[in-house]
Structure 1
Amino acid sequence: MSDDPEYSSPETPFNNLPPMVIAIALVLGGIELVFQIGSFGLIGGPDAIGWRIAAIEDYGFFDSIFEAMRAQGTWPLEHVMRFFTYAFVHYSMLHALMVIVFILALGKMVGETFGNFAVLLIFVISALAGSLAYGLILTTNVQLVGAYPAAYGFIGAYTFILWLGLGAMQQNRVRAFTLIGFLMGIQLVFGLLFGGSPDWVADLAGFAAGFAVAALLVPGAFGRIMARLRQR
């Protein structure tokens, strides 16, 4: 094939994305696609219509189950895995698509800055932080599902990148938190208008976890952050 740019094939958006970001998006999208196809009765027969509900019950994070495990002091694997598996089940196609958009957009910079392993690490730890905060802080019958806490973990890592960059340019570091402030503000407004879900606690915990993991991935960064906070 000619090397002439005029004849070269156009690059797709995926060419510029870190492989781990693509992998996570494909897994989340693939699971949602199965639910969608099943809901139309194209696979799985009549039972496929209820696959989403069954998945929420089997893999969602429930505070009542968490409290029961704490009270009994037993941690069966089928329930411990809920700390992570809730992130792979969503309420709807729109719910899943919004998460995937966040991960693709912010995971790109995170992956390019810290590498593929960091993308997976931030996803997993942020998901865990979200479910732990949800179970420890709240007392609710509303289950936690969806990868929003993990997506907010990428927002946290992205915020840390901005935080370092603004500091290097001697600019106001508070500006790095504009995105998370905007998103939390939207959640607050929707909550006041339409009755909000308590999952904002998990989202905020995921953000904090992503920020912390990013700080630990940069040698000396965590120490600089602590020194800065002490100065205040």
Structure 2
Amino acid sequence: MKPESPLNTIPPLVIALTLLIVGIEVAFQLGNAGIIGGPRALGWRLQAVDSYAFSGAVLDRVLVAGDYSFNILRRFVTYPFINMQLTQVAFCAALTLALGKFVGEFYGGLKVLVVYLFTSIVGAIIYGLCVSGTYPLFGGFPPIYGLIGAYTYALWLRLGQAGQNQIFAFRLIGVLLGIQLLYGIVIGIVMTAAPPPTWIAELSGFFAGFAISLLLAPGGWATFVSRMRQRA
């Protein structure tokens, strides 16, 4: 009897998201190496940032100018698929697979996509409200933090069912925020410049992922209210 492949337990939508993240980076790398695309391929990554990244100016176009064109609205969900570094892509792909597998098992495969897109949009909106101008937001971490939020809520429920301390559900986000704080300090010292304010979108993504999980989890809002009444 052949052992079952680990990929068989990962929801197809999670695999599709991961392949999209990796596939776009592969195209950038092949273009930079001159294998595809010709001389123009050297600028594909910057062109993608220009066409698909998000910024405060994009939100202004929507709220102030009333521009609801596809070219504007797509940026709310396309920016996570543009990454600047190969290591960033590797982390995004690995975390999407790992977190997507858990979230898909607990909530259902389709709801992984709901969490991913919803937290991408919320992260972009909060970023646009806090960071003015054209400083771009791109990279896959805001929706990954959204998946962490969904994971945290699922773990919070399971710890409650087991009668354990539910504060332990927040250990992962605590560790990540600590690493990010250390990274910001190192960047500030080494480069004598503030790190990009993408943490605004990432933290917003976490809270958005946790919040929407109140509705997406088995039992939905009723389960959450029941848990709160038991603690009261």
**Which consecutive unaligned segments of at least 5 residues does structure 2 have?**
188-193
Which residue of 66, 73, 82 maps to 1:89?
A: 82
2:152 counterpart letter in structure 1: T
1:100 aligns with 2:99: no
- The residue number in structure 1 matching 2:27 is 34
Contact 2:55 2:132 (8 Å CA) reproduced: no
| Offset, 1:138 | 2.5
The alignment's TM-score, normalised by the length of structure 1, stands at: 0.89
Helix, strand or coil for the counterpart of 1:72? coil
TM-score (norm 2): 0.89
- Matching residue's letter, 1:27: L
Please tell me whether residue 190 in structure 1 is matched to residue 194 in structure 2: no
Flag structure 1 segments of 5+ consecutive residues without an equivalent: none
1:66 has 2:65 as partner: no
**Quick check: 1:57 aligned with 2:56?**
no
Aligned length: 225
CA distance in 2, matches of 1:75, 1:216: 28
Counting aligned pairs with the same residue, the percent is 40
After superposition, the C-alpha distances for 1:136-170 in whole angstroms (9 at most, x for unaligned) are 12235421101211111111111111100111111
- The answer (yes or no) to whether the contact 1:188–1:196 under 8 Å persists in 2 is no
More displaced stretch, 58-67 vs 35-44: 58-67
SS for the counterpart of 2:139 is coil
- Cα distance in 1 for partners of 2:86, 2:76 equals 22
Q: 2:11 matched to 1:18? A: yes
Could you tell me which residue of structure 2 aligns to residue 148 of structure 1? 141
Structure-2 separation of matches of 1:37 and 1:11? 33
Q: Structure 1: which amino acid aligns with 2:145?
A: Y
User: Within 2, Cα distance between the matches of 1:229 and 1:131?
Assistant: 34
Quick check: 1:19–1:116 contact (8 Å CA) kept in 2? Answer: yes
1:215 aligns with 2:208: no
Maintained 8 Å contact 1:149/1:203? yes
For residue 60 of structure 1, report the CA deviation from its aligned partner.
0.3
Distance 1:42 1:75 in 2: 37
Alignment correspondent of 2:191: none
1:117 to 110, 117, 125: 110
Moved beyond 4 Å, runs of 4+: 229-232
How far 1:42 moved relative to its partner?
0.3
Q: Partners in 2 of 1:200 and 1:26 — Cα distance?
A: 25
CA-based RMSD of the aligned residues comes to: 2.0
